[in-house]
Structure 1
Amino acid sequence: MNTNVNDEAGVERNAAGRKVTEVAVGVLVQPDGRYLLTQRPVGKPYEGYWEFPGGKLEPGESVEAALARELHEELGIDVEASHRWHTLEHDYPHAYVRLYFCKVTAWRGDPHGREGQALAWQTLPAEVAPLLPATIPVLEWLAAD
């Protein structure tokens, strides 16, 4: 049951009154099952932690449009095939986020860190650490697929 409400300015807030930040997240999966993790850059919350790439939705932007924009900005790729997979809400100390995880199965270009972030193709279990807390359930979903 969703207990979130919109405040007088139309901003969605969770039951504790925290703003809900919507984020499109790409789970890039190769045909052999490898998936891509990126390392959070210096100066951001949880710097050095590993996560799936993505970013915030802009006002009026769809999840799919945000995903395509963010993956192009961060990784230099153009999404050719993706679908919404799972949605997860997570309460971090710095932000309450609603994460729209999208499986990306086809893209044009070779992913590279356009913002200086490290990239790592992984298999289960992940070998990089530490993992961003909301990344852990995604690895469980990948294992169950």
Structure 2
Amino acid sequence: MREDRRVVRVAAGIIRREGRVLAARRACGAQAGLWELPGGKVEPGETPEAALRREVEEELGCALAAAWPYDTVEYDYPDFHLSMEVFATGLAAGSEPARHEGVHDELRWLARDELLDVEWLPADDELVRALAFFWDEVLEDQQL
């Protein structure tokens, strides 16, 4: 990372349900049409886990169960450096995600063999490829 780059801190969730992971397709902006793990920006004074919970509530209208730190992704976009804290989690009992207009235009629950069927954001791509490889270790029931 170059010293003069703006750093954007985000939190993302590998949200698991019934052997599948939730993916969301961006509805607008420069990266519209690309898929991402749900989450968003970490506000000043906020922990990454709190940011993930807030963003999922705001953007998907649902709550998360317990969350465990999984990985940190550092990625250089042309205009900024992204630092993404990733958590492994599930949905809270009774929660069901729903897309909100202008944020995501599609949600999908992807099985391991479907992970590479969608075009991921550049920062998410390598993480998702590793997730496909380490699927059993990350998504075992005793983990989530």
TM-score range, shorter chain: 0.7 to 0.9
Change (3 A) 1:120 1:91: same
Percent of matched pairs sharing the same residue: 35
Residue pair 2:6, 2:79 contacting (<8 A) in 1 also: no
> Matches of 1:141 and 1:27 in 2, distance apart?
12
1:120 lines up with 2:108 in the alignment: yes
Instruction: Please give the residue correspondences for 1:1-145 in structure 2 after superposition, counting only pairs within 5 Å.
Output: 14-30=1-17, 32-42=18-28, 44-108=29-93, 109-116=95-102, 117=104, 118-125=106-113, 126=115, 128-142=117-131, 143-144=133-134, 145=137
Give the TM-score taking structure 1 as reference length: 0.81
Q: Which has the higher contact order (CA 8 A, sep 6+)?
A: 2
Greater fraction of residues in helix: 2
Larger radius of gyration: 1
Over the aligned positions, Cα root-mean-square deviation in angstroms equals 1.7
Give the TM-score taking structure 2 as reference length: 0.82
Structure 2: which 5+ runs fail to align?
A: 138-144
Aligned AA (2:22): L
Count of matched residue pairs: 130
Change (3 A) 1:46 1:28: same
Structure 1: which 5+ runs fail to align?
A: 1-13
> Matches of 2:88 and 2:32 in 1, distance apart?
24
